[in-house]
Structure 1
Amino acid sequence: MVKETVRDVFFLGQKSEPATKADIQVGIDLQDTLRANRERCVGMAANMIGIKKNIIIVNMGFVDVVMFNPVIIKKDSPYQTEEGCLSLDGVRPTTRYENIEVEYMDMNWKKQKMKLSGWTAQICQHEIDHLSGRII
């Protein structure tokens, strides 16, 4: 189901809770909502649709990947950039890492590990920040 985007900075600034297998529907809602906002959005976190759970979705070109309880386990090559967010107006400066490795549970609740670099790594880092209440 396509959900409305939360723009309440107080809500977005709160830390999310671990996801469970019972939260698979949230992943489906993130897929639908990202698809509906495709022209202006490349990733989302569950709190952006009003659910404080550790779930994100990242566009990786031809596929959108839902990640439950994602954790960055490796990162290197920091750089400065500016980012916007569907939940906020304008852009803000931030530090990102060119290369990351992330562990997460997939839609079948199987543990995955993925290496990302460049643009997809940046998107993933932005969305993971949302889970800890960090707003860019």
Structure 2
Amino acid sequence: MIRPIEKDQLFLQQKAALATPADRQVIQDLQDTLAANATRCVGMAANMIGVLKRIIIVQMGPLPVVMVNPQITKASGQYQTTEGCLSLDGERPAKRYDHITVRYQDAQFRPHTQQFTGFVAQIIQHELAHCDGVLI
């Protein structure tokens, strides 16, 4: 189901709880909502659709990748950038890392550890900031 984009900053500043298999509908809703906003968005966190669960989705080329309970375990190559967000107006400065390692579960709750670089790493960090209640 396509959900509206959450814009309430007080809600968005709340930390997300760990997701469980009971949250499978949230995963589907994130997939549907990202697809509906594909022309203006490359990633989403569950709180952007009104759900305080630690679930993100990231557009990696043609494939949307779901990450459940993601956690950055290693980061290097710090840089400054500016980012926009569907939940917020305008662009804001952000500190990001060019190389990250992320431990997460896929949509079937199977564990993964993977390295990411460049723009995909930046998207993941942006969405993880949402999970932590941090607004850019």
Range into which the TM-score falls when normalised by the shorter chain: over 0.9
- Structure 1, gaps ≥5 residues long: none
Structure number with higher strand proportion: 2
Distance of 1:25 and 1:115 partners within structure 2: 27
User: Equivalent residues in 2 for 1:79-90 (5 A)?
Assistant: 79-90=79-90
Q: What does residue 75 of structure 1 align with?
A: 75
- Structure 2, gaps ≥5 residues long: none
Tell me how far 1:49 sits from its aligned partner.
0.2
TM-score under structure 1 normalisation? 0.99
Q: What does residue 125 of structure 1 align with?
A: 125
Q: What does residue 64 of structure 2 align with?
A: 64
Partner SS, residue 38 of structure 1: coil
Distance of 1:28 and 1:74 partners within structure 2: 29
Q: What does residue 113 of structure 2 align with?
A: 113
* Identity rate, percent: 54
Q: What does residue 34 of structure 1 align with?
A: 34
The aligned length equals: 136
Tell me how far 1:21 sits from its aligned partner.
1.1
Tell me how far 1:24 sits from its aligned partner.
1.4
Partner SS, residue 134 of structure 2: coil
Distance of 2:88 and 2:120 partners within structure 1: 20
RMSD: 0.5
Partner SS, residue 100 of structure 1: strand
Tell me how far 1:62 sits from its aligned partner.
1.2
Tell me how far 1:89 sits from its aligned partner.
0.5
TM-score under structure 2 normalisation? 0.99
